[in-house]
Amino acid sequence: MKKDPIVGIIMGSDSDLPVMKAAADLLKDFDIPFELTVVSAHRTPERMIRYASEARARGLKVIIAGAGGAAHLPGMVASVTSLPVIGVPVKSSNSIDGWDSVLSILQMPNGIPVATVALNASKNAAILAASMIGSFDEVVGNKLIAFKKEMEAEVIGKADKIKAQGWQNFFDKE
Ligand code: RP5
């Protein structure tokens, strides 16, 4: 049976999907039920208000919102919902190197925080969402512990390889 989504991934445009896909991939790997859709602060303001105001009652626990340019979506959604909102600044094609969306999402007024991740870092947004879910859901929490252990083993493996081969030979083909 399909489980109801507990994370909402929204984005200002379908052009954000190539960036936001990594969040969906991570949540899928973690077996966290999520939904994904386009909600634009500027082009569909009423849909945005509806989405944000109904999110908690629909059972969502966290919202990941990605947008580029004048990226008002995460902040506006946070202004309506009491759920935690994670903002993903997207480097859209007409952006000024992404600084527009980074600052737009980061510089929220007192009282309405958005947890902002790095430019295009939708995977990190999903990891953060998983941490929030994992703080009350043991199964997800344990998956995060395993995920961190895997990363640790990977780094130690690389460090061991550098030590064994010498740093000059690190990139040589095996
Ligand atoms: C923002 O404008 C969207 O989040 C997107 O990053 C950017 C460009 O949107 P499109 O013109 O590609 O639809 O609202």
Could you tell me if the CB of 100 is within 6 A of ligand 1? no
pLDDT at 1: 73
**What is the per-residue pLDDT across 64-82, written as a single tens digit (0 to 9) for each?**
999 999 999 999 999 999 9
| Residue 95 confidence class, pLDDT cut points 50, 70, 90 | confident
- Enter the tokens of residue 1: 């049976």
pLDDT-derived band of residue 93, with 50, 70 and 90 as boundaries? confident
Q: For ligand 1, say whether the CB of 16 is within 6 Å of any of its atoms.
A: yes
Structure tokens at 8: 């909402």
Residue 174 pLDDT exceeds 60: no
Q: How far is CA 42 from CA 3, 20, 47, in A?
A: 31, 19, 10
Ligand 1, pocket-test mutation among 13, 77, 93, most atoms within 8 A of CB: 13
120 C-beta closer than 6 A to ligand 1:
no
- Determine the distance separating the centroid of ligand 1 and the alpha carbon of 131, expressed in angstroms: 28
- Give the pLDDT score at 10: 98
**Ligand 1 neighbour 90 (Cβ under 6 A):** yes
Mean pLDDT of all residues belonging to the chain: 96
Q: What six digits make up the tokens of 97?
A: 């190197």
* Token representation of residue 98: 């992404």
